[in-house]
């Protein structure tokens, strides 16, 4: 029997959880409000398990989105996943948010650019391409301005993500090469996408040492930036 994975996605305001078995989704439970505390996420997990007729004893691994994204959401998701893994002994399977978003695209010939609105006039960005049926990231994760994003579009690409909410027209007007957009646009990765990538990591034997797991923030939070500015003025 193929493994059951519990996927946790909290990188944006409205996250959720999913249960998958192999490559099939058993249940997905989205949040109807911003997740600010681990207790709220635990309720979603409990709902997903009960409505699926499963318990944590039926789960083989816990996949969690680790960013970039909402600082509060990432902390909630990661702390919940760590707590569950510590209490159950299940492996932790960390999934970068942009990887999960890009994984929604299947067998695309053009490069795939995943972009998430990062506020402050920037987007979180990463580029992917297919080798056979396997998608791979071709560089690092970056926070770039819209102008910086245009510079990174050097050939025909497929774009998806919440970054299109704010910069769609700018991209279409300024890109020097053909740009295609997914319609409807998946603004953020789904909990199911996180769970399915977790399953791939479990099959490959890639589990994470919980002591070394940190969210992918890319840049300081607004609060941290404010503290630094305050120190610089004193």
In the chain, % helix, strand, coil (3-state, to 5) comes to: 40, 25, 35
pLDDT of residue 13: 79
Residue 146, burial from CB neighbour count under 10 angstroms (0-12, 13-18, 19+): middle
Distance CA 59, CA 61 (A): 6
Domain 105-181 of CATH type 3.40.50.620: no
Q: Return the pLDDT at 129.
A: 96
Residue extent(s) of CATH 3.30.420.40 domains in the chain: 4-97+189-223, 105-181
Q: What is the pLDDT of residues 117-153, one digit of tens each?
A: 999 999 999 999 998 889 999 999 999 999 999 999 9
Separation CA 163–CA 124 (nearest Å):
8
pLDDT digits (tens, 9 = 90+) for 62-108: 999 999 999 999 999 999 999 999 999 999 999 999 999 999 998 88
Contact present, 189 and 83 (Cβ < 8 Å): no
C-alpha atoms less than 13 angstroms from C-alpha of 216 in its C-beta half-sphere = 21
Q: How many angstroms separate the first and last alpha carbons of the chain?
A: 62
CATH T-level topology, domain 4-97+189-223: Nucleotidyltransferase; domain 5 (3.30.420)
On average, the pLDDT of the chain sits at: 91
Rounded alpha-carbon distances, angstroms, from residue 44 to 2, 6, 29, 73, 178: 23, 11, 7, 14, 41
pLDDT at 36: 83
Segment among 16-20, 41-45, 130-134, 230-234 with least mean pLDDT: 230-234
Average pLDDT over residues 163-182: 95
Q: Is 141 helix (H, G, I), strand (E, B) or coil?
A: coil
What is residue 130's DSSP assignment?
E
What is residue 116's predicted lDDT score, i.e. its pLDDT?
97
CB neighbour class for 143 (10 Å; exposed up to 12, middle 13-18, buried from 19): middle
Closest CA to 219 of 231, 232, 228, 209: 228
Global pTM value: 0.91
Q: Indicate the helix (H) or strand (E) that contains 41.
A: helix 38-52
């Amino acid at each position: 029997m193929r493994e059951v994975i519990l996927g946790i996605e909290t990188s944006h305001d409205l996250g959720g959880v999913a249960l998958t078995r192999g490559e099939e989704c058993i249940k997905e439970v989205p949040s109807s409000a911003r997740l600010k505390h681990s207790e709220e996420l635990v309720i979603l997990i409990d709902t997903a398990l009960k409505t699926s007729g499963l318990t944590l004893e039926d789960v083989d691994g816990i996949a969690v989105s680790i960013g970039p994204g909402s600082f509060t959401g990432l902390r909630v998701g990661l702390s919940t996943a760590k707590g569950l893994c510590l209490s159950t002994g299940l492996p932790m399977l960390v999934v970068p948010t942009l990887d999960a978003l890009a994984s929604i695209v299947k067998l695309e010939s053009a490069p795939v650019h995943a972009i998430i609105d990062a506020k402050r006039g920037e987007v979180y960005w990463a580029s992917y391409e297919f080798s056979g049926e396997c998608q791979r990231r071709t560089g690092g994760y970056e926070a770039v301005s819209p102008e910086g994003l245009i510079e990174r579009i050097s050939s025909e690409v497929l774009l998806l993500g919440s970054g299109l909410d704010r910069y769609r027209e700018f991209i279409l007007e300024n890109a020097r090469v053909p740009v295609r957009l997914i319609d409807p646009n998946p603004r953020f990765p789904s909990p199911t996408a996180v769970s399915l990538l977790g399953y791939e990591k479990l099959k490959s034997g890639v589990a994470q040492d919980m002591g070394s797991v940190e969210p992918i923030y890319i840049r300081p939070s607004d609060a941290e930036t404010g503290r630094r500015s305050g120190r610089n003025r004193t």
